[in-house]
Structure 1
Amino acid sequence: MTNHPIEMFKYHTWANQTILGRIKELPSSVLSQEVNSSFPTIAHALSHIYAVDKMWYLVVTGTGMPEALQVTQQLNGSILHSVEEYAHSFDELAGQYREWFRSQTDLEQTILLDNPYAGIRHTRLSEIVLHLVNHGTYHRGNVSTMLRQLGHASTMNDYALFWYQAPRQDEMTSEV
């Protein structure tokens, strides 16, 4: 049986590496070229995706959301110098998530989420995973638009393409 939050996280990881792979094919200056979009540069968008992924990782591993936001706030504006640095950072964080997934016996368990912007609510771990994937998808769309504004084609990174390109493994033996 497929564990959908884990499958969606696999997609998220694949989609991040797919868009980063496309950016690697372009001149290195594309990261820092300013555009009139949701973020001033592609680097800012990538830093934001990473910071939010890291914030949610801290939350699911036991840090309160206010503290996790405080810890990752500087990451949101921290601009890396190369696509390779972003790829490495995303890959390293994905490895931390994979370890966390392996330690989980019930992604439907709830935690008390104290969101300083929205309030307190009981939230399933699976909901958090799906939110982080949805957030990444939204902002990869921003990156695709920014690439087009800069005169470059993006690359398809839809979930349906993931179905055909990512290797499928037996759920009982697959690594997250």
Structure 2
Amino acid sequence: MNHPVQMFHYHTWANQAILGRIKELPSSVLSQEVNSSFPTIAHALTHIYAVDKMWYLILTGTGMREALQTCIALNETILSSVDEYAAIFDQLGEQFREWLQGQVDLEQSILLDNPFNGIRQTRLSEMVLHLVNHGTYHRGNISTMLRQLGHASTMNDYFLFWYQEPASSQRKKTI
């Protein structure tokens, strides 16, 4: 499996790990206000989802300006339960997996017209890795928010993901 695909699998696993932890807590934790990067954990989850959706649209052929415009409204859509977040993340993850399976060359470049930074030749793999990095950053925000609310988070590091993969998918390597 190539690296960007593996990293995307990590991203979906880590999203579900943090959602699983939040689901173990009182349902009010999702909408409890906290002095952090986002006003609530629900806002942080919504932001991760909106940006993931934006990159999915870009990767599947929508211009960045149009994808950004489409997904700005998603940032305002705050869901009321962890199950709702898990469902939308699962659905989008499946769409990404289907798209990834259809790609023969993630190293191909497209002309990305970023309304904030200008035009740049960008590899599909770079966009996937950016999406993963963005999610990791904001899952860290959520972990901090959980601690500020008096709850432990859960480990969702890439290192742990290595050991969570099904044994059948692991390749033995000698070093």
Question: What TM-score bracket applies, with the shorter chain setting the length?
Answer: over 0.9
Structure-2 residue corresponding to 1:4: 3
Structure-1 residue corresponding to 2:27: 28
How many pairs are equivalent?
A: 170
TM-score, normalisation: structure 2: 0.95
Separation (CA, whole Å) in 2 of partners of 1:81 and 1:112: 38
Letter of the aligned partner of 1:125 in structure 2? Answer: L
Structure-2 residue corresponding to 1:161: 160
Question: What pairs with 1:45-124 in structure 2 (closer than 5 Å)?
Answer: 45-124=44-123
**How far did residue 166 of structure 1 move?**
1.8
Q: For 1:100-127, what per-residue CA distance to the aligned partner results, in whole angstroms no more than 9, with x for missing partners?
A: 0111000000011000011100000000
Secondary structure in 2 aligned to 1:114?
strand
Letter of the aligned partner of 2:40 in structure 1? Answer: T
Q: CA RMSD in A?
A: 1.0
Structure-2 residue corresponding to 1:16: 15
**How far did residue 148 of structure 1 move?**
0.2
Letter of the aligned partner of 1:101 in structure 2? Answer: L
Structure-1 residue corresponding to 2:126: 127
Where does the alignment leave 5 or more consecutive residues of structure 1 unmatched?
172-176
Separation (CA, whole Å) in 1 of partners of 2:28 and 2:158: 29
**How far did residue 77 of structure 1 move?**
1.7
TM-score, normalisation: structure 1: 0.95
Separation (CA, whole Å) in 2 of partners of 1:10 and 1:91: 12
**How far did residue 170 of structure 1 move?**
6.6
Separation (CA, whole Å) in 2 of partners of 1:111 and 1:157: 31
Structure-1 residue corresponding to 2:136: 137
**How far did residue 58 of structure 1 move?**
0.1
Separation (CA, whole Å) in 2 of partners of 1:41 and 1:77: 12
After the TM superposition, list the runs of 4 or more consecutive aligned residues in structure 1 that deviate by more than 2 angstroms. none
Separation (CA, whole Å) in 2 of partners of 1:167 and 1:85: 26
Structure 1 residues 170 and 153, CA gap change in structure 2 (3 angstroms) = closer
Structure 1 residues 146 and 170, CA gap change in structure 2 (3 angstroms) = closer
Where does the alignment leave 5 or more consecutive residues of structure 2 unmatched?
none
